[in-house]
Amino acid sequence: MKSHYRVVVIGGGVVGASVLYHLAKFGWSDVCLLERSVLTAGSSWHAAGGIHALNADPNMAALQAYTIDLLPEIECESGQNIGLHMTGGLTLAGTPERWEWLQSAYRVFQSIGIEDCELLTPQQAQERCPIMSTDGILGAMWADREGYVDTTGTVHAYAGAAKMRGAQVFEHTKVERLTQTAEGWIVHTDKGDIACEHVVNAAGLWAKQVGRMAGVELSVSPLKHHYLITDTIPEVAACDFEMPMTVDLEGFTYMRQDQKGILIGIYEVQHEHWAMDGAPWNYGMELFAEDLDRIENELVLGFSRYPAAENAGIKTWVNGAFTFSPDGNPLVGPVPGKRGYWSACAVMAGFLQGGGVGKTLAEWMIHGEPEADAWCMDVARYGRWAENKRYIRETTGQFYSRRFVMTYPNEQLPAGRPLKRAPAYSDMDAAGAVWGTSWDMEVPLYFAPDGFKETPTLKRSNAHPIVAEECRAVREAVGLLDISAFSRYEVSGPRAEAWLDRLMASKLPKPGRAKLAPMLAPNGRLKGDLTVFNWGDGTFWIMGSYYLRAWHMRWFDDHLEEGVAVRDLGEEVCGFSLSGPNSRAVIERLTEGDIAALPFMGVGEFDIGMIRARVARMSVCGELGYEINCRYGDHITLRRALLEAGADHGIREIGFNALLSLRLEKSFGIWSAEFTQGYTPGETGMDRWIDWEKGDFIGREAALAERDGNGPAKRLVTLEIDAEGADASGFEPVWAGEARIGFVTSGGYGHTTGKSLAMALVDAAHAAPGTKLSVHVVGVERAATVIPPSPYDPEGRAMRGLPAAEPA
C-alpha cells in the first residue's frame, strides 16, 4: 500500500469494485480500493443478483442496459465466472388499472429504446413460466434482457479486471477517519495514512459513518429484506428451460430459478429499518432471523402464485440489509461543499445499476461531466433538509413498502411532509389549496372547494374542471400564484458581471432589465434555463427551478472566481405572481411609483402596499404579468393586500397545475422535461437566446460546433393530439407510420385552446408544422399533428399588455 493515490475508493461491494474498474478503464490507474473485511462483506454477498433492463426513467434504463452489456465483458476480461443467467423476465398485472399502466409503460419503454419487450396474455405468460398460476392475472409484459448473476463472482470480476488495469485492492484495511487538506484528503486507516486527491464513499451499509468522517450526512438508511430459496421442485427440474425472472406486482414478490428450485423475494409492506446510523463495524456476513409474522401476507400471495412450491421445503432463508435513499435511486456524484469527496451510495440494485454507477462517477471525476444526464441519481437532488432522521425514516420506508405499489402521476404521497411551508401556507390552506411538493417546499397545485378529494388516475382527473376555471381566470381576469418555490441566487462583487457573462451563454440584461439565459456545460449541453435580473446597483439575481438549488449552487461554487459572491436566497425571499389582463390594474392600486411604465422584462424596486418588493414584469402564463419578490416575513401581508386589491378585478388564486397548462399553450419548456443536461440548445430551441457575438463563455465551442455543423438530429416541437379523456405526460413514443421518430417531453390539456397538447423531441425531418404523426397516450395510439409554436397568442401580444389574438 502506497502513501499516495489519486483516488481512494472506500468499500468492497459491487459498487466500489465497479467504480475502481471504471477509473482504471478510463485511464486513472493510480487508484486503490479499501475494504475493512473482505470483498462482498456487506450487502453484496447475500443479494439476489437480479438484473433487468426496464426502468421508467430513460437515464436509469440506459445505465442498466450498460451494466447488462458490461457483465459478459468483465467476465471475459477478468477470467472470473460471474454465473450470468439471461432467462428473460415477466412483469404481471393483476388489476385493470395495473394492466392499463403496464400497457402504457410498454410504450414508454419503446420510446426510450428498450425494444426487446412485448405484451402477453395470461396464457402466453404461463407458457414462459409454467409453474405460475394465472389466477387474477390480466396480462403481462415480457423482456428478453432479464436474469441474474452470481453476486460474489461478479464483485471479484470487477475487482480482478480493475487490478489487471493497474488498480490495487486492499482487504482487511479499515478506514478510521478522514482529514480534508488543500490538495485533497488524508485517509487514516488501521494500516497507515494515505493521501489522495479524491475519496469515493462506496461504503454501502457503512456509508453513513464514512460520510460523517467528512462532515457529510447522507440521506440513506438500511432496511431489512427477505427472500427464500426452496428445495428442488419436480416441475422445475423437469422443465427444459430456466424459469424467467417474474415480478408479481400485486403479490409484492419477485421470483427466479435457483438450481432446481426457486428464489422468492418479498418487498414487505410492513418494512423494518435497521442501523439507521450505519451498520456496526464488526457486521459483515451475518443475516437476521426470518420474521414470518411480518411477511405472512406476502408469503401467502407468493406461494399462491407458484403452487408447485407449496410442497417444497425451504432450503435457505435470507433476511439481510440493503441501503435505500428517500426515492430509491442511488446517491452519486460530487458532494456539494466537499471538494474531492464523492458519493456512490444507496445503490439498492447494485448488480443491476452498479456498472452504470461506476461509469457515471468515473466519467464525472475524470472529465468533469458524465456522458449521460445523471440527475436521477445525483446526490445534489437533496439538500440539508433531507439529513433529518425522521425524514429519512419516513421516506425510505415509504419507498420500500410501495416498491411494487402503483403510484399515479397525480397522486401525492405523505412521507416526509409537510416540511417547509411558505409563510402564507395556512391562509392558502384555508382557501382550499391542494398541496404538492418541490424539493422541501409545499406548493399549491390548485384551489378546491371544501370536501373535494382528487381521484388518482392515469387519465384526466376529477380536478380537471377546477384547473380549467383557474386557467380561465388568468386568461380573462387575473390569477395569483405563490412563487415561493422559485429559486433565487444573488450575485455580487466587483467581477459579478464578468463572471456571469462567462457563465451564461446569453447576452446579459442591461440595468433595470431581465433576460432569459441558457447556461451550458463545456460539452455544450444545457445546465440551466435561467433568468438573469440586473437590478442596476451592481447586483444580479439568477432565478430558476427551486428543486435544483443544491445542484446549481454546486455548479456556481465550482466555477466561482475571486471578486464574485453567490448567495442562495431560498430561505430569505419568496413572493407571488400576478398574471392576466387585469394584473396591471391590481398592482397599480397598491404601488407607489409608476409601475405602469415598467417595460416587458423590466425589473425594479417598488412599494407594494406596505411591502418593499423587487418586481419583474414577466409571466410564464403568456399574459401580462408581474412577479413580486418579498421577504419571508412579508408574504402573508402581501397576499392579503393583493387579494383585496384584486377583489373587483376577478382575482383568483391558482396553482401550478394551471400554470403547466397555460405554459403548454405558449410552447414554453420547463426543466426536467423539455430542458435537461442531456439535451443541447439546438435541439430545444434554447439557441435563440445565445449571444454568438460575445466573447468566450462556458460551452461556446461545442455550441458553435452544433450550430455550424449539420444541426441537431432532433428538434423540439409542439403537438396537437387527438386524445380522448387522457393526455400525454412524458416519454410516450411519437410515430411516423411504423417508424418511432421521437418522444413526448411533456403534455397536458390546453384549457384555453380546448386541445390536448404536448411538446416532443422528434427527428428533424418530421419537425415541420403540419406533419402528421401519432402518439401513444396511456397505451392507446392517437393521431397527432405538429403545429406552430404557441397555439395561444403566437405573436405574444398578451404578454406585452395588448389584446391577445383569438386561439386557433
pLDDT tens, position by position, 746-803: 999 999 999 999 999 999 999 999 999 999 999 999 999 999 999 999 999 999 988 8
Q: How confident is the model at residue 804, as a pLDDT?
A: 79
The pLDDT of 633-662, averaged and rounded, is 98
Q: How confident is the model at residue 115, as a pLDDT?
A: 82
- Determine the 3-state secondary structure of 645 from DSSP: helix
Q: Find the largest Cα–Cα distance for the chain.
A: 87
The pLDDT-based confidence of 52 (bands split at 50, 70, 90) is confident
Cα–Cα distances (Å) from 165 to 12, 159, 219, in that order, read: 17, 10, 33
The pLDDT-based confidence of 196 (bands split at 50, 70, 90) is very high
Q: How confident is the model at residue 806, as a pLDDT?
A: 65
Rounded to the nearest 10 degrees, how much is the dihedral formed by the CA atoms of 732, 735, 739, 740? -20
pLDDT beyond 70 at 62: yes
Helix (H) or strand (E) holding 108: helix 96-111
- Determine the 3-state secondary structure of 433 from DSSP: strand
pLDDT beyond 60 at 808: no
The pLDDT of 535-559, averaged and rounded, is 97
pLDDT beyond 60 at 230: yes
Q: pLDDT digits over 79-129, tens only?
A: 999 999 999 999 999 999 999 999 999 998 988 888 889 999 999 999 999
Rounded to the nearest 10 degrees, how much is the dihedral formed by the CA atoms of 64, 68, 73, 79? 110
What is the overall mean pLDDT for the chain?
Answer: 96
Whether the CB-CB separation of 524 and 371 falls below 8 Å is answered with no
Q: How confident is the model at residue 337, as a pLDDT?
A: 93
The pLDDT of 58-71, averaged and rounded, is 89
Q: What percent of the chain has pLDDT over 70?
A: 100
> CA–CA separation, 508 vs 493, rounded Å?
16
pLDDT beyond 90 at 807: no
> CA–CA separation, 396 vs 267, rounded Å?
13
Kindly report each contact of residues 702-709 with a partner whose C-beta sits within 8 Å and lies 24 or more positions away, as own/partner: 702/520, 702/522, 702/523, 702/524, 702/525, 703/505, 703/520, 703/524, 705/524, 706/524, 706/680, 706/681, 706/682, 707/682
Helix (H) or strand (E) holding 425: helix 425-430
Q: How confident is the model at residue 703, as a pLDDT?
A: 97
The pLDDT of 565-583, averaged and rounded, is 98
Helix (H) or strand (E) holding 526: strand 526-534
Instruction: Report residue 387 as a C-alpha cell.
Output: 439529513
Q: How confident is the model at residue 685, as a pLDDT?
A: 97
Compare 72 and 592 and report the one with higher pLDDT.
72
- Radius of gyration for the chain, computed over Cα atoms and rounded to the nearest angstrom: 27
pLDDT beyond 60 at 734: yes
> CA–CA separation, 231 vs 186, rounded Å?
50
Q: How confident is the model at residue 350, as a pLDDT?
A: 93
* 241 contacts: CB under 8 Å, gap ≥ 6: none
Q: How confident is the model at residue 55, as a pLDDT?
A: 78
CB neighbours of residue 58 within 10 Å: 22
Q: How confident is the model at residue 284, as a pLDDT?
A: 83
The pLDDT-based confidence of 58 (bands split at 50, 70, 90) is confident
The pLDDT of 687-709, averaged and rounded, is 96
- Determine the 3-state secondary structure of 326 from DSSP: coil
> CA–CA separation, 19 vs 304, rounded Å?
41
